Structure 1
Amino acid sequence: MSGLSLRYQPAPASIRSLAVGFLERRDVGRDETALELPLHHALAQFMLDADYVVRDPAAPETSEIAPRAGLWGPASRTRLGRSQGRLHVFVAILTARGARAVAGAPLSELVDRRLDLEAVASEASRSWIARLRDAATFEARTALACRWLADVSIGTAAEETCRLVDGIAEHRLRGPVTALSRLVGVGPRALHGRFTRQAGWPPKTWLRVSRLQRVLRTVHPAPWGPAADGDVRLEFTDDAHLARDFHDLTGLTLAAYRRMKRSSGDPLLHTVLAPSFPLPRFHWTPFVDGSTLAMQESMRGIAP
């Protein structure tokens, strides 16, 4: 089994439009390397012990220390991270509306970015953040996070695009962009422009990353949380389409993902522990459409 523990608490109904739930992860090992796979939710992450260094494929020659209290926007590409010691992190999993309320900015300014929460939050929010970071237990942190999000929600409105993004992230809206455009009552081109301006990614990217979460939950040998709703394989033309899309988004093959999960025994869904791989071993190459990036031959030992 992996050397980590997870605790999870769903968000109460009073703030369900702002947060999905709260997660706390504590690692037993030190200096572990991980692949952070694409994710359609924004995360308010609080590093409670060691710092966490992230390398982004969009800037392969640089790395950054994640903010101690950070707003991690939805991610469309795999990133590489390493803890500088024993990792202990508290996470609020935010909806699109919740991320917009916390940041005071549209999703287009958050996707594929990591922001310092104390730099973007209001003065009232900074007070909550300080109290949350100093809390002694998961239960106390969760209670403070609920009160913080209820406070920042005052005066916020759910834009149509945020509602659509949350529908996609909650797996209520699926299928091709044309079906989504018919639901909204605008053409695919107009919907593409609206999403790109307001949500940062075109609707196709949101749909693909959300579908990836269903695939991960299906192929993981023993994931935490409920199983995927329905057979996600029916959303692909064939098995080759599934395999190609998975590799394009994650840089891993399905077999490699399953093998690494069985080897580590960890229940994490979109984070793959790879403790034996130093940061310089990874290189990144953009795909033609520019929407995803994949790890290439330098991933010897991970991708067959």
Structure 2
Amino acid sequence: MPATTPPLPWSQWMPAPASLVDRVEFLLWVPPEVSVTHEHEVVPDANVDLLLELSGERCRAVLYGPLTRTIHVASQAGRGYLVAHFRPGAMPRLVDASPSELVNESVELREVAGLSLDELGERLLAAGSPQRMREELTPLLTRAPYPPGDSFDRALRHLLTRPEPLRPSALAEALHLSTRTLQRAFKDRVGFSPRTYTRITRLQEALTALREHPTRSLSEVAHRIGYADHAHMTREFRELTGRTPSDYRRAA
């Protein structure tokens, strides 16, 4: 399954390889002996996931695009799942499609960076440990084409230094760009507008706060994350996920 919002208790988290740390946030491994048949909820996210499903018969590879709505992804008991979670705007060119074409979509791959899925599956299953799997996957992900640096990277660095999201017009002004140039950069790299990007990243921050601070009031969470008030946060949750912050808190 893609990297879901609540960390899966049976998954093994791995840091990105040093050569890919600017493109990959982390990797997850769910061993076949602990995997379950389940519908996993995946909330809106600006990241892209490469999912490799491993069984004794075959290797299946699926690239999941950025999300502006909640989706559900099925897993099956007895199969291993290796996931590479890419940074926003760092979608590798593994398919002939742009991020905007993959928003809320997924595509099955026939190969990964020129290596057939049969051979990739054999290598990963023979690796013997998550760390060795990462070593097998790293050269493939390293040689995959990535988008060159552009205005999106400047905008992302600027957003990361600010405690609250900027309006697109203010962000464009701060970067000495036209609003149209900024909009195009975000669509090219993450598939949607700067406003949608900031809404989704703020949602992710709120989900983390709700999970890590179960006794903090919803009003305090809303204030700390940068929502105008509790009602605004609830409205954003409903629009993006179809659920309320209280729903997620109870589930967590």
Query: Does TM, normalized by the shorter one, top 0.5?
Result: yes
Q: Secondary structure at the match of 2:46?
A: coil
Amino acid at match of 2:210: V
Match among 102, 106, 112 for residue 110 of structure 1: 102
Aligned residues of 2:49 and 2:84 also touching (Cα < 8 A)? yes
Q: Secondary structure at the match of 1:219?
A: helix
CA shift for structure 1 position 180 = 2.1
Aligned residues: CA RMSD: 3.4
**5+ residue gaps, structure 2:** 1-6, 215-220
Between the aligned partners of 1:151 and 1:139, the Cα distance in structure 2 is: 19
Match among 22, 25, 42 for residue 17 of structure 1: 22
Summarize the Cα distance change of 1:37–1:86 in structure 2 as closer, same or farther, 3 Å threshold. Answer: farther
Q: Secondary structure at the match of 1:220?
A: helix
Between the aligned partners of 2:26 and 2:195, the Cα distance in structure 1 is: 26
- Count, aligned residues: 234
Deviations 1:201-238 (A, max 9, x none): 11111111111111111001479xxxxxx987341111
Amino acid at match of 1:247: R
**5+ residue gaps, structure 1:** 51-66, 224-229, 262-304
Aligned residues of 2:47 and 2:89 also touching (Cα < 8 A)? no
Between the aligned partners of 2:119 and 2:64, the Cα distance in structure 1 is: 18
CA shift for structure 1 position 31 = 2.6
Summarize the Cα distance change of 1:30–1:15 in structure 2 as closer, same or farther, 3 Å threshold. Answer: closer
Asked if residue 201 in structure 1 is aligned to residue 192 in structure 2, the reply is yes
CA shift for structure 1 position 86 = 4.6
Aligned to 2:43: 37
Aligned to 1:245: 236
CA shift for structure 1 position 137 = 2.1
Aligned residues of 1:45 and 1:89 also touching (Cα < 8 A)? yes
Amino acid at match of 2:17: P
Asked if residue 216 in structure 1 is aligned to residue 207 in structure 2, the reply is yes
Aligned to 2:170: 179
Between the aligned partners of 1:107 and 1:172, the Cα distance in structure 2 is: 25
Taking every aligned residue pair, what percent have the same amino acid on both sides? 24
Q: Secondary structure at the match of 2:110?
A: helix
Aligned to 1:163: 153
Between the aligned partners of 1:3 and 1:186, the Cα distance in structure 2 is: 41
Deviations 1:89-133 (A, max 9, x none): 1111112454233346432233222112326x4424768744554
TM-score by length of 1: 0.64
Between the aligned partners of 1:45 and 1:193, the Cα distance in structure 2 is: 28
Summarize the Cα distance change of 1:28–1:130 in structure 2 as closer, same or farther, 3 Å threshold. Answer: closer
Summarize the Cα distance change of 1:108–1:142 in structure 2 as closer, same or farther, 3 Å threshold. Answer: same
Amino acid at match of 1:109: E
Deviations 1:25-53 (A, max 9, x none): 34847432332111111011111259xxx
Aligned residues of 1:23 and 1:90 also touching (Cα < 8 A)? yes
Between the aligned partners of 2:27 and 2:223, the Cα distance in structure 1 is: 26
Aligned residues of 1:214 and 1:232 also touching (Cα < 8 A)? no
TM-score by length of 2: 0.76
Aligned to 1:80: 72
- Which moves more between the two structures, 156-165 or 250-259? 156-165
Between the aligned partners of 1:152 and 1:3, the Cα distance in structure 2 is: 28
Once the two structures are superposed, the pairs formed by residues 99-138 of structure 1 within 5 Å of their partners are 99-103=91-95, 105-118=97-110, 121-124=112-115, 129-134=120-125, 135-138=127-130
Q: Secondary structure at the match of 1:109?
A: helix
